[in-house]
Amino acid sequence: VLANSNEPSTDPLSTTTTVSSNNSPSCFGANITLTATVSPDLAPGTVEFFGGATSLGTATLSVGTASIVVSSLGIGVHAITAVYAGNSDFNGSTSPIIIQNVNPPAPGTPGSITGPSPVCPGVAGLIYSIAAVVNATNYVWTLPVGWTITSGSGTTSITVTSGAVAGNISVVAENSCGSSSDQLLAVGLNPAIPATPGTITGNSNTCSSTTGLTYTIAAVAGATGYTWTVPAGWIITGGTGSTSIT
């Protein structure tokens, strides 16, 4: 008896599988949705997802797609594939590799800021620095009003010129996944260099070896001491460091 050549073929149908990620590059610990698409979309069954040789999970197909959510991938580069198991009617298939990049998490708060305090107004070459922060790729410094960064922006050490007001110096560490809390250093400001004293009052015509002569100036704003210089052989007997000497 000859077989009926009009009977339908029972060979399984071929399939193709692709895989995609909704979040690449991602940050460590973040959710990543991996979606497999199997064609034809009538193919039933399950898809298993892999990161390299490690199984990440299995999902059931619905109208040609299946998805899982993962958050356990380590920092680095991962080769992701999806494998459709197939059945008696549909051949299995494996997707091409896609690359999932996982970046480090946001850095932690920087350690203490080192640098001089208090400082005088308008001083150049002041250095403030911190230790490097794990996973940081950039550092954002903020200075009191009127202060300027002259070098080192974006690094762990900056050189600045002070301004005319005190305040906080702060720094934040950051990378592509976020920013840290800020670290602060309160910087005090010494008084500005005093102005030139006013006219000295006192006797300008004196006899040799005369005692008790008094010379005086008005107080100078911001001054904390006064240095007097007298002619050779003269002696200050009182008032050193003040606005009036004898």
What's the CA gap between 137 and 40, in Å, rounded?
A: 46
Calpha distance 129→202 (Å, rounded): 51
> CB of 139 within 8 A of CB of 174?
yes
H, E, C per residue of the chain: CCCCCCCCCCCCECCEEEEEECCCCEECCCCEEEEEEEECCCCCCEEEEEECCEEEEEEECECCEEEEEECCCCCEEEEEEEEECCCCCECCEECCCEEEEEECCCCCCCCCCECCCCECCCCCCEEEECCCCCCCCEEEEECCCCCEEEECCCCCEEEEECCCCCEEEEEEEEECCEECCCEEEEECECCCCCCCCCCCECCCCCCCCCCCCCEECCCCCCCCCCCCCCCCCCCCCCCCCCCEEC
Residue 7 is predicted with a pLDDT of: 57
Q: How far apart are CA 39 and CA 42, in angstroms?
A: 8
Q: How far apart are CA 187 and CA 170, in angstroms?
A: 10
Residue 1: its pLDDT value, please? 41
pLDDT tier for residue 146 given thresholds of 50, 70 and 90 = very high
Residues 172-230 have pLDDT tens digits of: 999 999 999 999 999 999 988 889 999 999 988 888 888 999 999 999 988 989 999 99
Closest CA to 230 of 191, 202, 193: 202
More confident residue, 203 or 96: 96
Evaluate if residue 6 carries a pLDDT over 50: yes
What's the pLDDT tens digit per position in 155-177?
A: 999 999 999 999 999 999 999 99
Long-range contact list for 50-54, CB < 8 A, 24+ apart? 50/80, 50/81, 50/82, 50/83, 51/78, 51/79, 51/80, 51/100, 52/78, 52/79
**Alpha carbon of 169 to those of 172, 175, 188, 196: distances in Å?**
11, 21, 11, 32
Q: pLDDT digit string (tens) for 21-35?
A: 999 999 999 999 999
Note whether 105 and 74 are within 8 A (CB): no
Q: What is the pTM of this model?
A: 0.75
Return the pLDDT at 3: 46
**In whole numbers, what is the pLDDT of the chain averaged over residues?**
94
Q: Cα–Cα–Cα angle for 163, 165, 169, nearest 5°?
A: 75
Beta strands 26-27 and 98-103 are: parallel
